[in-house]
Amino acid sequence: MIIRRMMPLIAGLTLLLAVTFAQIKDTTGNPVRVALVKMPYVGERNVPELSGGPDYLEQGGLRQLLEDQGVQASLSPPVALSADEDKACGSWNRLALANGDLAKIVADERRNGHFPVGLLANCSSILGMLSGLQHSGPTAKPLRVGMVFVDAHGDFNTPETTLSGMLGGMPVAIASGQCLTRMRLKAGLEPPLPTRYIVEICVRDTDPLEQELLDRSEIQQLTLEDVRTRSSNLHGAMKRLSDATDVIYIHVDMDGLDPREVPGHPLTVPGGPTSIELAAALTEMFKYEKVAAFGVASTPYGEKDKTGISRQAAYNLILGAAKGVQQRRPK
């Protein structure tokens, strides 16, 4: 019944994609140059090491869709461990190595004038995306990186505070230097992000001790209402990050959405925006010149997305981001 009610939305998303992508060019009239980067490594225990989610997004026709509508889309080599890295012990250690490889790809793509769009297994990939941006500047000096993190969860747990033990609940804490320093350093993210450089949106499910850490941090929290209205709070946060940092990364975990659009996701929480609402907010955020990369994580695939509704939602978010880049004002 829920899926039947959502079918008009799916059709609407597809039409919106087809109509809007035809207009996506930068302010010089040239097509936006997007590099799709697939990061399949998961890092969690007792699950397969590689996720099919990144392939699922790319192989559903995303690149062809972009190209057919005038966007120059290239596909980067997927993140894959070398023979020596593949022999490394420990799932967390291997994930750190994979994030180091992801960082190199992101940095190279940005230096080549592409806008990296990460198709990510889960939120632990923010380490590689952030590291890549941090080391994408003209010199060896690390750039100051800000992050907008859209998720139902704060992902600010540490091994001492977590109730579940999931690494996927820790990446923001790792990126900001709160825990697992070796993992961050292996990903190449040094220095860590100051918490004042982080904005979280639509977080609505945290562990008690995690919430204490968030309350003591300088992470700014925005709400569902800020997304739906594209509020002055949203623009204020983007202006603040633009003034304080050199580049900004925007990240979306698909569980941040309304659960009806990600019915196969195991960690959904009521009270999230629709993909159309979030896409409109992303368009506003990506108008800011400092925003340099986008990541979409943990898209349900296979039997968990039989109708394709989650993939369509992810495509809608990518659309919103690209539309914002297109609407940037000439310098």
14: confidence class by pLDDT, cuts 50, 70, 90: very low
Q: Per the structure block, which two tokens stand in for 109?
A: 């793509």
15: confidence class by pLDDT, cuts 50, 70, 90: very low
Establish if 284 belongs to a structural domain: yes
The tally of domains found in the chain comes to 1
Establish if 305 belongs to a structural domain: yes
Give the integer Cα–Cα distance in Å for 295 and 272.
18
Q: Is the pLDDT of residue 205 over 90?
A: yes
Residue 55 belongs to a domain with what CATH number? 3.40.800.10
71: confidence class by pLDDT, cuts 50, 70, 90: confident
3-class DSSP state of 4: helix
Average pLDDT of 97-118? Answer: 97
Kindly state the percentage of the chain with pLDDT values over 90. 81
Give the integer Cα–Cα distance in Å for 202 and 265.
17
Range of weakest confidence among 47-51, 85-89, 104-108, 220-224? 85-89
pLDDT in tens, 233-242: 999 999 999 9
Find out whether 184 and 174 touch, Cβ atoms under 8 Å: yes
Average pLDDT of 105-121? Answer: 97
Give the integer Cα–Cα distance in Å for 132 and 295.
12
Average pLDDT of 114-124? Answer: 97
Q: Per the structure block, which two tokens stand in for 6?
A: 């959502």
Query: Quick one: pLDDT at residue 188?
Result: 98
Establish if 231 belongs to a structural domain: yes
Domain assignment of residue 87, given as a range: 2-22+32-325
Establish if 27 belongs to a structural domain: no
Query: Quick one: pLDDT at residue 318?
Result: 95
pLDDT in tens, 251-302: 999 999 999 999 999 999 999 999 999 999 999 999 999 999 999 999 999 9
Q: What is the DSSP string of 202-245?
A: S--B--HHHHHHHHHS--EEE-HHHHHHT-HHHHHHHHHHHHH-
Average pLDDT of 203-210? Answer: 98
Query: Helical H runs in the chain?
Result: 2-21, 53-57, 63-68, 83-86, 91-111, 126-134, 171-175, 181-186, 208-216, 224-229, 232-244, 275-285, 309-326
Establish if 123 belongs to a structural domain: yes
13: confidence class by pLDDT, cuts 50, 70, 90: very low
Instruction: Kindly state the DSSP code that residue 79 receives in the 8-state scheme.
Output: P
Q: Is the pLDDT of residue 8 over 70?
A: no
Establish if 331 belongs to a structural domain: no
Find out whether 257 and 275 touch, Cβ atoms under 8 Å: yes
Find out whether 126 and 330 touch, Cβ atoms under 8 Å: no
Find out whether 114 and 63 touch, Cβ atoms under 8 Å: no
pLDDT in tens, 167-203: 999 999 999 999 999 999 999 999 999 999 999 999 9
Q: For the chain, what is the mean pLDDT?
A: 91
- 191 prior amide bond cis, ω within 30: yes
Sheet holding 291-297, edge to edge: 72-75, 33-39, 115-120, 291-297, 247-253, 145-150, 198-201, 220-222
Query: Quick one: pLDDT at residue 331?
Result: 58
Query: Quick one: pLDDT at residue 278?
Result: 98
Query: Quick one: pLDDT at residue 69?
Result: 56
Establish if 61 belongs to a structural domain: yes
Establish if 330 belongs to a structural domain: no
Query: Quick one: pLDDT at residue 203?
Result: 98
Residue 143 vs residues 175, 284, 314: alpha-carbon distances, Å: 14, 23, 28
Nearest residue to 203 via CA among 279, 148, 264, 128: 148
Q: Locate tokens 């080599």: which residue?
A: 77
Q: Is the pLDDT of residue 148 over 70?
A: yes
Query: Quick one: pLDDT at residue 95?
Result: 97
Q: Is the pLDDT of residue 65 over 80?
A: no
Kindly state the percentage of the chain with pLDDT values over 70. 90
Buried b (16+ CB within 10 A) or exposed e, 168-202: bbbbbbbbbbbbbeebbebbbbeebbbbbbbbbbb
Dihedral of CA atoms 199, 250, 56, 303 in degrees, nearest 10, equals 20
Find out whether 292 and 249 touch, Cβ atoms under 8 Å: yes
105: confidence class by pLDDT, cuts 50, 70, 90: very high
Average pLDDT of 48-76? Answer: 88
Nearest residue to 130 via CA among 99, 169, 161, 159: 99
